[in-house]
Amino acid sequence: MRRVCNRAITKMDIKNNSKMSQAKKNRPKNLNLFTIRMPINALVSILHRVTGCALFLALPLLLLTFQMSVSSAEHFLTVKELLNSPFSKLMLLGLAWAFFHHFFAGIRHLAMDVHWATTLIKARYTSKMVFVLGGIATLLLAVSWVL
């Protein structure tokens, strides 16, 4: 018998280990990613990363639009006309939701970094609050655009 970590390895250990590896091989594999139900905490975390990437990738276009609007009066009218289209408003509303979600999820992550709301119940609650606050902020922005 060999001794590893102050414990003797027996033939029974080897036999149990081979049974466990056999059980792992026989487990069903779920290859359809759309049937996996992710916890809300994971969804908020993943969306935090996705919205951060989307905002980063949209930044050059927003800066180009701003630069074009301040370059001359004709370009300003062109940008104004472009941004008044329903498609542009929908895209800007999507970017606004991405910003608000990223903002509130970032605050949640910072709070969790200082060990606030780290229990499962509180983490689920703060995840739901990120969705609610992001939706309310986006809705308020949309209403202010209409009025």
> Hey, what are 50's tokens?
């996705």
- Tokens 């590896």 — which residue? 21
| Any domain includes 51 | yes
CA distance 104 to 132: 10
| Any domain includes 13 | no
State the DSSP code for 30: -
What domain range is 114 assigned to?
40-146
| Any domain includes 6 | no
> For the chain, what percent of residues have pLDDT higher than 90?
71
Interval 93-122: pLDDT, tens: 999 999 999 999 999 999 999 999 889 999
Interval 43-71: pLDDT, tens: 999 999 999 999 999 999 999 999 999 99
| Any domain includes 140 | yes
Q: How many domains does the chain have?
A: 1
| Any domain includes 35 | no
Residue among 135, 144, 142 at smallest CA distance from 89: 142
**CATH assignment at residue 57:** 1.20.1300.10
> Hey, what are 74's tokens?
């004709």
**CA distances (Å), 45 to each of 41, 64, 112, in order?**
6, 30, 12
Q: Which residue has the higher pLDDT, 76 or 146?
A: 76
**CA distances (Å), 106 to each of 39, 48, 86, 113, in order?**
18, 7, 30, 10
- Residue 9 clears pLDDT 80, i.e. is over it: no
**CA distances (Å), 138 to each of 25, 51, 99, 100, 113, in order?**
47, 14, 9, 7, 26
| Any domain includes 28 | no
